[in-house]
A and B are shown apart, each in its own frame.
Chain A
Amino acid sequence: MTDKEATVYIVDVGKSMGAKQPGRDVSNLDWAMVYIWDKMTTIVALERKTTFQAVLALRSDHSYNELMQDGSYENIYVLQELKALQRQDLKELQRQLVPSKSNQGDAIDAVVVAIDMITKHCKKLKYKRRIMLVTDGRGHMDPDQIPDIAEKLKDEDIELIVLGIDFDDPEYHFKEEDKPEHKEKNETLLKQLADGSKGIFGTLAQAIEELGQPRVKSTRPIASFKGTLTIGSPSNQYGNSLVIAVERYPKVMVRKPPSASTVRALQQTQSSATLQGDDAMDMDQANGATAILSERNYYVDDETQPGGRRDVDYEDLIRGYEYGRSVVPLSESEQNITRLETEPCLDVLGFVSSKDFPRQMLMTTSHIVVGAKGDAEATMALSSLVHALSELEDYAVARFVAKKDKAPFVVLLAPLIQPDYECLVELELPFAEDVRTYRFAPLDKILTVGGKEITEHARLPNDNLKQAMSDYVDRMDLTTFGDDEEGNPTEYGKIEDIYSPLLHRLDQVIRWRATNDAQEIPPPYPILLKYANPPEDLIAAATPQLSALKSAAKVEKVPPQAKSRRTKPTTNPISGLDIAALLEPASQIDPSNSIPSFERMVNPPPTTDPDAPGPDPERISKASKSLTQVIEKRIKESFGSLAYERALEEMGHLRRRLDELEEPRLWNDWLESLKKKIAADGLGEDRFEFWRRVRESRLGLLFVPPRRPAGVSGAEVEAAREKWLLETRNFWSLK
């Protein structure tokens, strides 16, 4: 578990905090709260019961704290005692944290009150203690006892963070002009206190600027396997087995962004995302939203029942497996029958070379394997393996079972030697069953069906292109493009520098909305998008190489029109035999061979003339009419939904071909008539299901591009497309 935490925020709410400084469009208090809310919501978002936060208002109108007595510790108001805060608490605080009418109240007093709160709450328990003071330093401060308080802070191990509004900070290069004398004095006092307690003293502007820096959560390592790494039999069956006691811990574990549920807001009138705090407080569910949950219904197909299904009770169900089309039910005692019994192990199968090891075979996140905790001998033994592998440039391949009766995997074990750490890195490798043997043509040559090798071809790069690519790749090198903390060149885009964009973006907006109800969402922090594009300086420097590459490559975008109009490539038998010449065009559709005979009807008689016209409109119209008759007949005669798939396939083919052949109207007209027939039960009773399937298969109206001899403008096409989209949407209703 992580450490407990107690943080007390001291927020200066004095009258002067209500003012706006020149150059800022928010009041000092609002500006300070940007920082405070960010910190507070970060802690609330952890959803931990052991992170406590409290808030003190400094220079408040009234006084409320445990130390106040006889006029001392006045104008310090404990708005919130130390508690694991919830969102409701934040909302309440939000209401209370407004500028007061007072300028009375001593920041150093407030620190003492905070120390008192923390020591009473934390006692001597293990806690991370922190006081965060945000002030404009314009109130009165009494320098009495500052060294003692600093000492007390140190004794109690409390970290004091003082953030001042427009405080001078030479390191941040900020100096306020015309600073009032007493503010300057106060800054000195607070700095004295912070420095004396080894705390932090800074100016608020810098702190706010650094909010964009994502925070990385740490997780305490937990072993996922404790066992032995062996070379040879773990039971030492044949003698001289090498056995090392090891533990396995996660090295890389993907942190998932939080998941959202679907809810329906009760007050639909409230178009904004949340209700205002006050109204919501009175309701059970603060934001007035009802969750929408999923419930499962179980049924079996049953033709005798209406709707073709019969609901079954969950209690009557047993578990089973599908084996092909057959069902294998399992009785209670058979639940684990298919499980392979295994013992936990990490047994070395052999060693492989790490040079040229195909990294693309790695399938999972990585773990590390170290010697058993506190076992010096095991650690030394493992170290010898780590070093031997490293020196030989080898990896180990092992059989790994994490827990008894878990499925065994083959894993890779790679040595990792860092200045102060040695271990093996473990990742899973694929099995034979996990490999898909797809075939791809080689990239550096073209093999013809005749078995010839071609090295010069439009699909292969010429020397010019190869050289241009090589120059560009070399110019775009990142190895020394980055800067380290001292400004020395270093690798750009190290893993340690790249944050998960979605994780931190969601974290940002959730926390932001927690205190900013219905306002517009702020843009993502720049650091999250840093790696979405090549660095500007680098690409600017590579401009000559990039343009050389572009001109050598001669890449052309396929215009969208050409893509949709493209027809199927003509068939080329290996033998070069001209099939088309052998075949007779069909004069009508054979229902049992509909699509091929449609093709035969549409395509013109074979000819050797390359300029011969394509399919003429008359042929197309005749063929499609014939095919639509087949389709309608099929639907009409279909027993239940038996012939639907086939009809849909034919429709899909017809629609695609008519689009390619630029006869969309033929399709649209027929689809209209089909719809009417179905609506009027003209194709047998209740073919609505079929119509639903047509819609699901996206076999809707085709877009008819406007055509005029003089040509059409882009705007006209756009307008026509808009109209078509609307028509398509409204087309499906059968009423």
Chain B
Amino acid sequence: MTDEPWKAEADEDEEDLEIADVQYKTVKDAILFTIDVSPSMLESPPQVQDKKRVKDSAFLASLKCAYELLTQRIIAQPNDLIGVLLHGVDTRKLEAKFGIPDTKEIDELQGCYLLINLGIPSAEDIKKLKLLIENPDEIYQAIIPNSEPVSIANTIFSAAQIFSVRAANFVSRRLFIVTDNDRPHGTDERIKIQATQRAKDLYDLGVTIDLFPLARPDEKFDRSKFYDAKPSDPDAPASISQIARRESDIHGIDLLAYLLSSVRSRITPKRALFSNLSLHIGPGFTISVKGYLIFKRQEPRRTQYVYMGHEPVLVKSDSIKVSGDTHQVVERTPQDKEEEHKAYKFGGDQILFTKKELAEVKHFGEPGITIIGFKNITKETLPVWANIKGATYIYPSEEEYVGSSRVFSALYQKMLKDNKMALVWFIARKNATPQIAAMIPGARKEDDTGTIILPEGLWVCPLPHVDDLRQYPDTVSVSAADQLIDKMRVIVQQLQLPKGQYIPNKYSNPALQHHYRVLQSMALGEDHPEPEDKIIPKYKQIAKRTGAYVQEWAEELEAQQEKWQANSKPAATATKRPAPQKSNGDAIPTRKKSKLVDAGDIDEATIRTAWEKSTLAKLTIPELKSFLSAKGMSTSGKKQELTDRIEEYYETK
């Protein structure tokens, strides 16, 4: 480390010094969603009594899942790639219907058809899938299993090529495979080895395989037959077995729900906000952690500029630097850039700093989380209002310090057990603004389906500084009597959310969903959908549950109000501003020959003269107001309104 640590990033552009606080490293993700087309996948499930159950074949459910995946991804990860590959399908029919996919530089795909090429999905892609899922008959005409069994090795190899060509250099590349065939190699051991080899290649390429196994109606999916042999990321949590356990009892509509929930939990690649950040537990005692944003507001994308050529195209833009006075383009060499200054506005002038000076000023130390000490979590030490933005979830990492995990675990367990928070000084990145924060423990929380809503670990919640606190507005000082509180208490008890918890997964963002549904309809040339707002409270239900109690409360409120009004002085004058004090024409201390002159009170004659000369505007507001109030007229409004009122007064007189 040098003596001037801010120098470390000297070669980066200065604009980087002011990085937006929450910014993800751009980790691009590509998913190739592969569906196995086998006779059993296409088979309709056995007829069931329950009419609600839709007779979806496993293939149709998978296709619906792919459709959901595509439309969701457009919203959540608009820059990430996705493709749909059909494995073991007779390609001739499909080629006739949808054309030959553009697979430049890819060896011929044998026995698999690239229904949607790996890329950012287009409206046409969505349309294609929609057509298929809405017309299952089309499926049976166009999608026919290949007469010869197709080796899974071929498909994996094709996938590897598709990734290499279309998603080169992507950090995250994942092959999703939906299949009900636990022995894709048949009985041929040679094919098994080949397939394993291809899977290993995929691993070398950095592509991970996520398997979504489906059970056939009459038999279980046995992973040990083939799929356990595929290499897996040793860091991946061992929850795959969990899914394997559940697959047996699913089909039809449940199948789709199962697929959706398991795909959803894997749709976002794990993106760290920072990795290997130092957590200083005490001086000379440091471990390393990774940070994640678990909650991040999903916003509709901003509008962009579009140029209408023969078809609408998105306009790109770049910025050039121009001189403020001549508007000439400024050429800047790195040397020039270094010599430019940063300017702050101050009193009609600019205060200049060299970039180095400013970097030095803004440098508060190296990135890290430093524990200052611990406190019990109470309403006083950590009030609910003390929040400024989303919390950062941190999790130990062994990469920088071996032993981080056990220390982190001990810290977490202690803090959770004794309900402690740590006050921390938090610098998230190089040259980031330091932030005071509360580091709190959070236990794991699952919803009823076992989906984890909150992972266990520590959370860094940034606290406001004293500068960020706002004053309270004036209010009438009145408290509710116990009788009234009692009535309200019943109402509150009547309206508990299930288990007394807020589960975000149950509240979909209506504005965001509407935005994208409208966009989708426009892109597909369909009718606009009806707005739908699922977070509007169920008024009828609420009325049913609380109506009677609300009535009682309202009556009590009325009674209490009367009581209060009787006991307190009429009209809350406290909010009124006191009238300006009348000058008493005070004596000037006659010190030697000094002259202290008072601005005397204005009399009616002055106002009248001013009106006649049309110089009312030259008078001060208090002068105008004191005249108006003397005449019993309103004194509210801006100066213009006051003078207007006076003019009116004289004109109508």
Contacts and interface: CB of A to CB of B under 8 A. Distances in A.
B589 A152 contact: yes
Q: Chain B's interface: helix, strand, loop or mixed, by majority? A: mixed
Interface stretch (A161-169, A199-207, A216-224, A670-678): A216-224
A236 B617 CA distance: 49
Given A241-B543, A289-B343, A321 B304 contact: yes
Contact of A460 (B285, B406, B414): B406
16 contacts: A112-B591, A237-B539, A257-B433, A295-B319, A376-B564, A380-B560, A421-B472, A423-B475, A437-B451, A444-B409, A459-B406, A473-B411, A513-B351, A555-B402, A592-B161, A596-B200
A180 B583 CA distance: 43
A231 B305 CA distance: 43
Contact of B295 (A329, A435, A583): A435
B415 interface: yes
Interface in B371-424: 371-376, 380-391, 393, 395-396, 398-415, 418, 420, 423
Given A231-B542, A251-B469, A290-B323, A260 B386 contact: no
Contacts of B297: 363, 428, 430, 434
Interface string B451-482: 11111110101011111111111111111100
A239 B306 CA distance: 50
A436 B414 contact: no
A144 B203 CA distance: 95
A429 B503 CA distance: 10
B6 interface: no
Interface stretch (B142-150, B178-186, B262-270, B607-615): B262-270
Given A144-B591, A408-B511, A432 B561 contact: no
Interface string B274-286: 0000000111111
Interface in A407-466: 407-408, 410, 412, 414, 416, 420-423, 425, 427-444, 447-451, 458-462, 465-466
Nearest to B161: A592
Contact of B537 (A214, A348, A365, A437): A348
Contacts of A348: 495, 537, 542
Query: In this complex, which of A250, A451, A593 has the most chain B Cβ atoms within 10 angstroms of its Cβ?
Result: A593
Given A255-B468, A265-B341, A440-B237, 7 more contacts: A219-B471, A249-B472, A264-B323, A341-B531, A459-B398, A573-B231, A649-B169
Contacts of B33: none
Nearest to A445: B409
B76 interface: yes
A502 interface: yes
B352 A274 contact: yes
A535 interface: yes
A526 interface: no
B292 to A, nearest CB: 6
A427 B465 CA distance: 17
Given A408-B535, A553-B407, A260 B358 contact: yes
B345 A258 contact: yes
B361 A321 contact: no
> Number of contact residues on A: which range applies?
35 or more
A346 to B, nearest CB: 11
Contacts of A462: 406
Contacts of B383: 416, 425, 495
Contact of A443 (B14, B408, B471): B408
B327 to A, nearest CB: 8
A19 to B, nearest CB: 30
A292 B298 contact: no
Contacts of A232: 537, 539, 542-543, 546-547, 550
A72 interface: yes
B484 interface: yes
B204 A250 contact: no
Contacts of A295: 319-322, 327
A325 B330 contact: no
A692 interface: no
B92 interface: no
Given A298-B315, A340-B514, A473-B411, A252 B391 contact: no
Interface string A357-374: 111111111101011011
7 A-B pairs with least C-beta separation: A291-B324, A148-B589, A596-B201, A238-B543, A407-B511, A320-B306, A123-B599
B78 interface: yes
Interface stretch (A82-90, A184-192, A702-710): A82-90
Query: In this complex, which of A148, A349, A420, A503 has the most chain B Cβ atoms within 10 angstroms of its Cβ?
Result: A349
B495 A350 contact: yes
Contacts of B91: none
A99 B202 CA distance: 81
Contacts of A649: 164, 168-169
A260 B485 contact: no
A317 B307 contact: yes
Nearest to B362: A502
Given A460-B409, A579-B231, A441 B306 contact: no
B147 to A, nearest CB: 26
Interface string B204-238: 11000000000000000001100011111010011
Nearest to B223: A574
B551 to A, nearest CB: 5
A579 B401 CA distance: 31
B221 to A, nearest CB: 14
A120 B387 contact: no
B69 to A, nearest CB: 12
Interface in A76-116: 85-90, 112, 115-116
Interface stretch (B55-63, B120-128, B246-254, B638-646): B120-128
A101 B452 CA distance: 80
Given A155-B586, A264-B336, A435-B294, A448 B480 contact: no
A476 B371 contact: yes
A731 interface: no
A151 B480 CA distance: 46
Given A373-B475, A434-B298, A648 B169 contact: yes
Interface in A648-687: 648-649, 652
Interface stretch (A21-29, A55-63, A384-392, A615-623): A384-392
Contact of B370 (A41, A218, A259, A532): A532
Nearest to A427: B387
B121 A324 contact: yes
A493 interface: yes
B468 A569 contact: no
B339 A265 contact: yes
A540 B543 CA distance: 61
Interface stretch (B34-42, B44-52, B518-526, B628-636): B518-526
A425 B381 CA distance: 16
B637 interface: no
B96 interface: no
Nearest to B376: A479
Contacts of A379: 475-476, 478
Given A149-B589, A422-B479, A501-B364, A469 B468 contact: no
Contacts of A514: 346-347, 351
Contacts of B515: 338-340
Nearest to A149: B589
Nearest to A355: B500
Interface stretch (A9-17, A130-138, A504-512): A504-512
A390 B595 CA distance: 62
B196 to A, nearest CB: 6
A438 B172 CA distance: 14
Nearest to B573: A374
B652 interface: no
A262 B340 contact: yes
Query: In this complex, which of A250, A366, A577, A583 has the most chain B Cβ atoms within 10 angstroms of its Cβ?
Result: A366
Given A119-B598, A380-B564, A432 B318 contact: no
B385 A368 contact: yes
Nearest to A509: B361
A73 B443 CA distance: 75
